[in-house]
Structure 1
Amino acid sequence: MTVIYPSPIFGPVHSRRLGVSLGINLMPADGKLCTFNCIYCECGFNEDFRPKLPRPTREEVRQALEARLQDMKANGPAPDVLTFAGNGEPTAHPHFAEIIDDTLALRDRYFPNAKVSVLSNSTFIHKSAVFDALNKIDNNILKLDTVDEDYIRDLDRPTGKYAVADIIEGMKAFKGRCIIQTMFLKGGYKDKDMDNTSDKYVLPWLEKVKEISPRQVMIYTIDRETPDHDLLKVTHEELDCIAALVKEAGIEVSVSY
């Protein structure tokens, strides 16, 4: 079942990786806007869910977030994390940087122990305002599913100009203040083998991860239904083998099965 998230606030939900997570969706509430069109996206394919509503404004996000945090303060539960995710790429919002500042101020007022996380596909990290905003948050989680350009075009399907070498350079610029998030999967799509667990994909990816030197790597596999039904989960054992390579490189790693 495809998931289109409410906007601008949803949840809290229990995240496999982050705990009790209050979601912040900077995309329209009635569809999907993203610079990727991933074949595994739980929100479906971009072309099937074109929104008619606008993105929420900075003020709408701030007001809705404050109201929800006030309610959670009074009635619980306390959030572990405030997570920017939802129906598309959060850093694409024209006022992303200002919304981050508002969110940090509200977090400090209501739940100072909560972390602020952004799940990003990394396509806007070259923009100075986005880069600076991501440097202010607790968990700057950047997607890098592989370093193979052809595979990225089949799996993540960027909708605009995209060069993985430029993305990797952008990630290095954070000087370790980032978390790399990688999806491993099997199965096929349009007669193409989409298995990225072999040495052909894992070893070059690992070398680039070492160069980026993130403070953590999150590896995971398909959890919810995908828009393409020929994709398959990776086994616990296979994920553990990849995680062991990351650990050997001296980088902290978490695995979500």
Structure 2
Amino acid sequence: MSTIIYPSPIFGPVHSRRLGISLGINLLPADGKVCSFDCIYCECGFNADHRPTKPMPRRQEVAEALEAKLKDMLANGPAPDVLTFAGNGEPTVNPEFPEIIDDTLRLRDKYFPNAKVSVLSNSTMIHRQAVHDALMRVDNNILKLDTVDPIYINKVDRPCGHYDVNQVIEDLKRFNGHVIIQTMFMKGDHSDNTGEAYVGPWLEAVRQIAPSQVMIYTIDRETPDRLLQKATHEELDAIRDRVIAMGIPCTASY
């Protein structure tokens, strides 16, 4: 099984399907995965197969590594389109996440003021006020909502603790539009969320959240569950068009 474990705290830059030239910021250990989900489609593999032995990077370590990389990119290129919090799991579980966001915004403004700061999160920590407030400060607050069906969530996203999708939707609404909803559509045994039974209620949740944008996508790399399949271009395009019809910008990545 091929999985990706990212260096920490800085990796890349890489080319993102959705964001362009992206410098990665990984707030999780460099030798394993720490996540509040255990998704069957995660490119980093299952949590149990990649238990870390190293600690999470601290605020000062992240700031020093980020500044060194930004200095190098300023001198030698390429210029980043975005600084993206991603990596080996859920970035908002790092206890210094809010402070690290502040450092990153300061360094972005100093070296590449036109670059955006993005956070890719599974939405499990947005009930914490400090996390909410930090996400309000970034340019691209990209939060996951794969479905509103609890059975599907437990089979596919596999939360590691308590997860109430209705509460998550309420917490997403609290961003008052400063949020980009990201949704994975795919197919597999008992994991197809491309049909109307899933898409219709998801669209209603998106309407209530009223995000600034929606990003829908499908599998791009090898997954821990080998039976998963990509959603088709036609399926993604049809879902995208229904979001746009509600007056919300939407992109599809294949």
**Structure 1: distance between partners of 2:170 and 2:231:** 29
Q: What letter is aligned with 1:170?
A: D
**Structure 2: distance between partners of 1:76 and 1:229:** 37
Please name the residue that 2:6 is paired with. Answer: 5
Give 1:238's match in structure 2, choosing from 216, 235, 239: 235
**Structure 2: distance between partners of 1:194 and 1:143:** 17
Q: What letter is aligned with 2:207?
A: K
Please name the residue that 1:195 is paired with. Answer: 192
The alpha-carbon deviation at position 85 of structure 1 amounts to: 0.2
Unaligned runs of 5+ in 1: none
Does 1:118 pair with 2:115? no
**Structure 2: distance between partners of 1:128 and 1:104:** 19
The alpha-carbon deviation at position 187 of structure 1 amounts to: 1.4
**Structure 2: distance between partners of 1:53 and 1:161:** 26
CA RMSD of aligned residues (A): 0.4
**Structure 2: distance between partners of 1:161 and 1:134:** 21
Unaligned runs of 5+ in 2: none
**Structure 2: distance between partners of 1:76 and 1:244:** 37
**Structure 1: distance between partners of 2:191 and 2:58:** 38
1:98-177 equivalences in 2 (<5 Å): 98-177=99-178
The alpha-carbon deviation at position 171 of structure 1 amounts to: 0.1
User: Which TM-score applies when normalising by structure 1?
Assistant: 0.98
Number of paired residues?
253
The alpha-carbon deviation at position 234 of structure 1 amounts to: 0.7
Does 1:78 pair with 2:79? yes
Please name the residue that 1:205 is paired with. Answer: 202
Does 1:224 pair with 2:221? yes
**Once superposed, which parts of structure 1, at least 4 consecutive aligned residues long, lie more than 6 Å away?**
none
**Structure 1: distance between partners of 2:183 and 2:124:** 15
**Structure 2: distance between partners of 1:109 and 1:48:** 39
**Structure 1: distance between partners of 2:132 and 2:235:** 33
Give 1:253's match in structure 2, choosing from 238, 250, 254: 250
Helix, strand or coil at the partner of 1:13? strand
Helix, strand or coil at the partner of 1:244? helix
**Structure 2: distance between partners of 1:59 and 1:235:** 44
The alpha-carbon deviation at position 20 of structure 1 amounts to: 0.1
Q: What letter is aligned with 1:222?
A: I
**Structure 1: distance between partners of 2:118 and 2:13:** 14
Helix, strand or coil at the partner of 2:161? coil
Encode CA deviations 1:140-171: one digit per residue, 9 max, x unaligned: 00000000011000010000111000100000
